[in-house]
Structure 1
């Protein structure tokens, strides 16, 4: 009869547990801050730093403890955060009146605890906001289906596979000129605004002014450009057979044999995801990254099947890849 071996338990050395114990560090730092405060009868920079770091250690220890609870961790976290915030408000309003009748040593100790409670409360509130945000986003992630790229399908002819995706027929040159044109237009508007409202703009720091200009002018211009381009979206089908590539965009169709193919570029990701095809009577550039993707799909292209690489290489095309394999280009060998 075989015996079941219990899993070995990892024993953490005592010195390591003490080294990474925030409660121990917080106690030591606040004790040092209290001793310095009572000894000098004043709060200088060293005491101030000791109180801030010590209070943060206690806040960190409490947040970690609530995250480790199987039950009621969130309830305890919320209750302590509410009590601490309410206490901070009361002490801020009436603290000086409460401390006046007390002896100086007690005042010093309470002052250290008060200063340490500020970073502790801040960390506890931040931890609570993180838990609430994570809970809300987790619920939304469960409701929202995972978006996936378009998938290859088996061709009815039985000689390869095809892909359906929305695309915008546009050359890279046209997109570049559009971006340059809208950038110049926005720049001219920005210059006009700077001339008209120079006194107001000069009051802002340079970095803040740049950010505001980007939000007020650049972001709307980008949204207008993408919305305009997406109106040109059409349904596209690209099929790779045994010896030809078949492309259907809207009502038009094109066929290029691999032996006559001059150029093929395939980019999977980013807004510049696209396919470019050049051959006899065919010169197409179809952007998938800028097109409006259907529900459940991402605006990108899947990786080319391996059989396509082999077929194109047999047809005399040479493949070139970018550093991250984001762009794959097939060109006719000279």
Structure 2
């Protein structure tokens, strides 16, 4: 006897794995290496504090911290937490070494090595700050979790001709969120650097571990709080419905309804701060596009930020309409894209 329609609607479909080259291109570590390598020539000639190399070093260091934090959240919960704590300790140790030990041994080192160490020191500030900020976020999430019942992401409901999920999200594209984070890191890095230069004696007397905590409390947390507040104020009620012939995306009073033959690409990310849905229509520009970021939105009590996995029935519907799965590196990320010159089946 075949399974019921309700069972099929909640049965998650396996996500395809990305190729090694795609995983490499999407890696923050790769782009961190590119940016730091681009900044190195300026540091070697003693111009590391010019605007361009300064920003390259800060963003490259932040990408190192971002890659590490993302890796810990892709691990099983207990292992990820342990690795995150160890990484935070190591990041603090690097800052301590660069401020307490390195100044004593640097004069005896070759000039090129001193320049490289200065670049590492500058990059380690945003890297350590992001690692510690991620650890604080992890601890805060655990502290907010109810003792009797953990928050759960929204689930599928049966619609009149398919499935629907209702959730809270911020209408914006992922690149907007990325630019917000980059701006946050750049502004925070500039403020931290100015404070370190202006209060050099005080900073040296505090030591690196206390210094990271002070800068995090005085600079990073307020900036991060402003970003969260901004996104919280733009949170709206949303829903995505997959019917028999078309899908419907609703955000507040805005509704985008597309037949599956007119969907060019669907991105569906279930977890982390990047949980989102992005639907692009065929050849209609921004008028047929809806991007909703769930991970940064304000959620109702007891609801975790995230989306349910696409069911096998939904996946079969998308593929029957000519949308092909694109292998992805991240767990919980599904992308379905219409291949050019491949007409969708009719019927």
Q: What is the TM-score normalised by the length of structure 2?
A: 0.53
Structure 2 unaligned segments of length 5 or more: list them.
1-142, 341-347
Of the candidates 170, 176, 189, which is equivalent to residue 172 of structure 2? 170
Length, aligned pairs only: 193
1-structure distance, mates of 2:327, 2:301: 31
Partner SS, residue 262 of structure 1: strand
Tell me the equivalent position of 1:141.
147
Aligned pairs for 1:72-87 (under 5 A) are none
Please state if 1:274 is matched with 2:300. Answer: no
2-structure distance, mates of 1:219, 1:176: 18
Q: What is the TM-score normalised by the length of structure 1?
A: 0.55
> Displacement of 1:191 after TM fit?
2.1
2-structure distance, mates of 1:209, 1:188: 16
Cα distance change on mapping 1:149 and 1:210 into 2, 3 Å: same
Please state if 1:186 is matched with 2:192. Answer: no
Aligned pairs for 1:161-310 (under 5 A) are 161-279=163-281, 280=284, 281-310=287-316
> Displacement of 1:216 after TM fit?
2.4
Tell me the equivalent position of 1:83.
none
Tell me the equivalent position of 1:160.
162
Tell me the equivalent position of 1:150.
154
> Displacement of 1:233 after TM fit?
0.4
Moved over 4 A (4+): none
1-structure distance, mates of 2:289, 2:232: 21
Q: CA RMSD in A?
A: 1.9
CA deviation digits over 1:201-252, x for unaligned, max 9?
1123334423432232112211111111110000001100012110111111
Contact between 2:309 and 2:332, CA under 8 Å: does it hold in 1? no
> Displacement of 1:174 after TM fit?
1.0
Partner SS, residue 205 of structure 2: coil
> Displacement of 1:271 after TM fit?
0.6
> Displacement of 1:294 after TM fit?
0.9
2-structure distance, mates of 1:242, 1:146: 34
Partner SS, residue 206 of structure 2: coil
Tell me the equivalent position of 1:325.
331
Which protein shows a greater Rg? 1
Please state if 1:311 is matched with 2:313. Answer: no
Most deviating of 204-213 and 283-292: 204-213
CA deviation digits over 1:256-278, x for unaligned, max 9?
11111001000000010000000
2-structure distance, mates of 1:303, 1:267: 8
Tell me the equivalent position of 1:20.
none
> Displacement of 1:187 after TM fit?
1.8
Structure 1 unaligned segments of length 5 or more: list them.
1-136
2-structure distance, mates of 1:325, 1:190: 34
